[in-house]
Amino acid sequence: QQQVKQSPQSLIVQKGGIPIINCAYENTAFDYFPWYQQFPGKGPALLIAIRPDVSEKKEGRFTISFNKSAKQFSLHIMDSQPGDSATYFCAADYSWGKLQFGAGTQVVVTP
Amino acid sequence: DSGVTQTPKHLITATGQRVTLRCSPRSGDLSVYWYQQSLDQGLQFLIQYYNGEERAKGNILERFSAQQFPDLHSELNLSSLELGDSALYFCASSPTPGTGELFFGEGSRLTVL
């Protein structure tokens, strides 16, 4: 049973657009929600993370929005660039880095 | 470069065989995690070690085992390999074991023929 559901599976945006990736979770014990970025042939790299007592967090062009009551969180990539083309994973953690990952979203940013 | 080193990068073997994957965590990180990435299962947590001791187990098969040595490097042993074990195996380390702030290596791609 997938504990973290991620959508969409893939999306294509033009340079400068704002890809939005959504995730939903069931387990209210989760207390840390990181996003990872993965390029082909590489391991996932931590992008940004949020705790459930915060509704929004920004780091550079990346923003997480968190809705605790709805058990949903999302990633926005502002002013997207072709170099942002990658697979993005949301995740949830409740126990010492034992992450539950979403299925991933392949983002393509066209020039 | 995350600072986590995994060897080998690629491995091709036959069903029924045994392989060992090696991981060196970032300098100073006491926690090591193993994850499996496959097309059908996605990224799945296998097992975690902290300073040489097993801390948590995920969906790790009984045919698989791991350990963390006194110098903090870790090995994942996969035995009686099956076709379905073909996947990318990632090692990650963490400076702060209580968070999901993991630094992943580039993975070992295992192909079982």
What is the pLDDT at residue B40?
86
* Nearest chain B residue to A40, by CA: B106
Q: Which of A11, A3, A2 is nearest to A105 (CA)?
A: A11
Q: Check CB contact of A42 with chain B, cutoff 8 Å.
A: yes
What is the pLDDT at residue A1?
56
Secondary structure E strands in chain B: 5-7, 10-13, 19-24, 31-38, 42-50, 53-57, 64-68, 74-78, 87-94, 103-104, 108-112
User: Are the CB atoms for A57 and A64 separated by under 8 Å?
Assistant: yes
Mean pLDDT confidence for A24-40: 92
What is the pLDDT at residue A94?
74
What type of residue sits at position A13?
V
Q: B97 CA to chain A: closest CA distance, Å?
A: 5
Q: Considering only CB atoms, which chain A residues are within 8 Å of B42?
A: 101-104
Instruction: Please indicate whether, in this complex, the C-beta atoms of B48 and A44 are within 8 angstroms of each other.
Output: no
Instruction: Please indicate whether, in this complex, the C-beta atoms of A96 and B48 are within 8 angstroms of each other.
Output: yes
Instruction: Please indicate whether, in this complex, the C-beta atoms of A95 and B56 are within 8 angstroms of each other.
Output: yes
Question: Cα–Cα distances in Å, from A89 out to A37, A38, A48, A54, B82?
Answer: 6, 8, 11, 20, 27
- Encode burial over A58-85: b for 16+ CB neighbours within 10 A, e otherwise: eeeebbbbbeeeebebbbbbeebeeebb
Mean pLDDT confidence for B34-62: 92
Q: Considering only CB atoms, which chain A residues are within 8 Å of B59?
A: none
What is the pLDDT at residue B98?
66
Per residue in B85-102, pLDDT (tens digit) is: 999 999 999 987 667 789
Q: Considering only CB atoms, which chain B residues are within 8 Å of A34?
A: 100-102
